[in-house]
Amino acid sequence: MDAGLAAVIAGATGAGGAALAAFATSFGLLRQAKLQGDHAHRQWLRGHQQQAYEEFLVALDRTGDLCRDVVTAAKRLSGESTAEEVEQVLALFEGVRAEGRALRVVAFRVTLLTDAEVSDLALDLGERQLAVTRVAVEIAQAAAQGQPLPEDRLNQPVREVGQARGVFISRARKILQQA
């Protein structure tokens, strides 16, 4: 009887040990799968953040370039300008407005993919660039009507965009390096 009891206890202990080993293995595999999933998600997020940051900066540059183009083109207009020249300037006005809308969309995409600080920086930078856009359009419209406004109205807003851009890039770079 004692030998039978010992055999039962030994069998139960062996089965318990095997069950415990299976549980530990399963737990380890689950933990590893979670870590791999977390890593894959971080990599996915980092890739999308980087893409959104790049698209935002490209949209910012395009908007700034179009602002310069519209002011330059409007300054060339005169009372003797052809209808085609006027149409080109009007097309630039529309291009500036469209780029402003695109900039806003990309800024919102950045806010969906990053932390609150970078979101705020992106929205602030976008709004500052849109302020530059509004001033550029006002200057261009006045120039097109033969009433030039001082272009120095653009100096301060453009400087602010440059400073805000530097802060945005610095913080976005830190976010990407953390991932």
Cβ atoms of 127 and 119 closer than 8 Å: no
Query: What string of pLDDT tens digits covers the 179 residues of the chain?
Result: 577 766 667 666 776 666 666 666 766 666 776 777 778 888 999 999 999 999 999 999 999 999 888 888 887 876 677 888 888 888 888 888 899 999 999 999 999 999 999 999 999 999 999 999 998 888 888 877 777 767 788 899 999 999 999 999 999 999 999 86
Fold of the domain built from segment(s) 41-178: A middle domain of Talin 1 (1.20.1420)
- Tell me the pTM: 0.77
Euclidean distance between CA atoms 110 and 120, whole angstroms: 10
DSSP 82: -
Each domain of the chain, given as residue ranges in start order, spans 41-178
